[in-house]
A and B are shown apart, each in its own frame.
Chain A
Amino acid sequence: MKIQEFIEILKSKSKFPFEVQQHSEKRVYIRIARENLKDIAIVIFKEMNAKFSIASGVHIREGFEVLYHFTFDKDKFICTVRTLAPHDDPKLDSLVSIIPGATWIEREIYDILGVQFLGHPNLKRLVKAEFLGEKEFPFRKDFNIKKFKEDHGLAPKISFIQPVEQTVKKSK
């Protein structure tokens, strides 16, 4: 199955619009609206037997972009589905009910970017459990590491080595 064939099959099976951007022979990116996320996951994961690899969340100007990477091992290409959650309403449908392996990564994205996943069975904070505030998300662009480190007492105080007073006896 080449990427063109894959796109054709996808077009015939899905009833919603999507935008295709072919990067190279092995990589293809598909942009969809966030309402259709679950439908496309069902088509790709359940019907076309792709392997779910990982999702990445990026903070861009328009909002939070989440990319789901699906690998087709036999056909030697990766299909990446990208979708956008806007700033004022950072919410996406959770894929856990379709792909059990997405549990950890959705929690991670929730944790670092603050994107809510609707329908996730156990959406809790992960990495910043104890020391980051509820509204502090390290991967957002407005996160200031320097200020954060100073607030939490993590900043290493730069101290130059004090010159040792040398008591050299001058010979008279």
Chain B
Amino acid sequence: MRSIIPIGPFHPLQDEPENFLLTVEGETVVDIDVNIGYIHKGIELLAQQKTYDQTVFLVERICGICSITHTVCFCNAVEDLLKVEIPERAKYIRTILGEIERIHSHLLWMGLAGHFIGYNTVFMWTWKYREPILDMMEYLTGNRQSCGMLKVGGVRRNLEDSRFPALLKTLSEMEPKIKMLAEAVQDDPVLKARLEGVGVLTKKDAIDYCVVGPTARASGVDIDVRRDDPYAAYPYLDWNVIVLNGGDVYSKFLVRVLEVLEAIKILRQAVKQIPKGDFLLEIKEIPPGEGIGRYEAPRGEDIHYVRSNGTNFPERLKVRAPSFINIPSFTASCIGQQIADVTITLAAVDPCYSCTERMISARDLSGNKKYSQKDLLEISHQKTLEISRNLARPADLPKLKKYL
């Protein structure tokens, strides 16, 4: 018997509204529809009414977790338009902020992943480890998230050298804990049984769906914008791109744990090498033209396209967040799974709906089916009626119908 399980719009699986319609046979998923667009606000259009400086604050609010991502990406795009090179110190500051954000975003995902499979202890412990990193963010920039540090041409405020030792201390305190977490993930048999072989996205599917970020790297696709299209201070630093071949949730988990360790490595070098000097390049005017910025967000490659017509306001801003490309891969990874596994498979992409929906709403991915709210209610009513028919005596049926 086929039935349809709606997940969302409001569901504890995600903090954000979204809707998945799972068509299930028993407990096995045979089809999935993704409905997003509940929180579409029209940020791209809004950007056309704001000046470049204001737009930085606007794109910061595309997504709270990737606040540095979108701002740096937008600044990259405008600087590409201007063909300017920003001061060295600004580059290092952007790198430091970006890597701090990567650590906190990955830890956040790991905790949530633990929560989704009912392992609340993992959730609490990873989020406890995440707190010092947020404290560092506050200590360095003044706010836990959305710090408003970026500006076209550099950074708005300087990071004081005197504050870096505290950062290094936090990192060295964190590193053994992350290593312990990595070992725990590899050793825990129950966790392994629950994650291994679940929601496999093969390399071919990964290339076909053009997925990016940890999702692609866990499937054996070797891409990383930090290396492929270097920005900020990454060319001066020594680090590795983590690539695993499993494609399942377990690999995605492991990629993220190892990336946190890489991020710690990058941060240490950046703090050591950061030069003194200017941190902001004065931008007088922005000529007509167009620019493309790329950034490796915690979730994957982020692209901004900016077109200027010589005025104070951007003529067009196009944002492609990583989740926009990653979400369609659900179709490949979810079908044939158990319902209990679907939640963690969906979560494994680390989908970020605020990013995706600044302009888009997708409906009916498979192309032929679409259920409105009313249809769904109808279907679920029919199902309950059927169940009650099987359970109840025939004489009670008219009474039951009244309630339906």
Q: Which residue numbers of A lie inside 8 Å of B, CB to CB?
A: 23-24, 26-27, 29, 51-54, 56, 58, 67, 69, 71, 73-74, 76-78, 80, 100-101, 103-104, 107-108, 112, 121-122, 124, 126-127, 129, 138-139, 145
Contacts and interface: CB of A to CB of B under 8 A. Distances in A.
B344 to A, nearest CB: 24
A61 to B, nearest CB: 10
Closest 6 CB pairs of A and B: A56-B318, A54-B320, A101-B210, A127-B361, A73-B228, A58-B316
B80 A24 contact: yes
A46 to B, nearest CB: 13
B292 A51 contact: no
A30 B242 CA distance: 34
B328 A108 contact: no
A104 B292 CA distance: 20
Nearest to B360: A108
Contact of B292 (A27, A74, A145): A27
Contact of A126 (B289, B301, B363): B363
B305 A122 contact: no
Interface stretch (B37-45, B146-154, B156-164): B37-45
Contacts of B42: 138
A100 B303 contact: no
Nearest to A67: B305
Given A73-B228, A101-B208, 14 more contacts: A23-B291, A24-B83, A26-B229, A27-B80, A29-B290, A53-B210, A53-B301, A54-B324, A80-B292, A124-B363, A126-B362, A127-B360, A138-B45, A139-B44
A54 B317 CA distance: 13
21 contacts: A24-B80, A51-B210, A53-B210, A53-B301, A54-B320, A58-B315, A58-B316, A77-B229, A78-B294, A100-B209, A101-B209, A112-B359, A121-B367, A122-B364, A126-B37, A126-B363, A127-B359, A129-B361, A129-B363, A138-B45, A139-B45
Given A108-B359, A126-B361, A69 B303 contact: yes
B328 A104 contact: yes
B212 to A, nearest CB: 9
Contacts, number: 88
Interface of B: 37, 40, 42, 44-45, 49, 80, 83, 208-210, 223, 228-230, 289-292, 294, 301, 303, 305, 307, 315-316, 318, 320, 324-325, 328, 359-364, 367
Given A56-B318, A127-B40, A138-B42, A104 B362 contact: yes
Nearest to B367: A122
Nearest to A103: B328
B223 A69 contact: no
Contacts of A27: 80, 291-292
Contacts of B324: 54, 104
Given A24-B83, A126-B37, A53 B360 contact: no
Residue of A54, A122, A126 most packed against chain B (CB within 10 A): A54
A58 B359 CA distance: 14
A164 to B, nearest CB: 34
A73 B318 contact: no
A27 to B, nearest CB: 6
Given A26-B229, A51-B210, A138-B42, A101 B328 contact: yes
Nearest to B368: A122
A76 B305 contact: no
Contact of B303 (A54, A76, A122): A54
A151 to B, nearest CB: 16
Contacts of A121: 367
B228 A78 contact: no
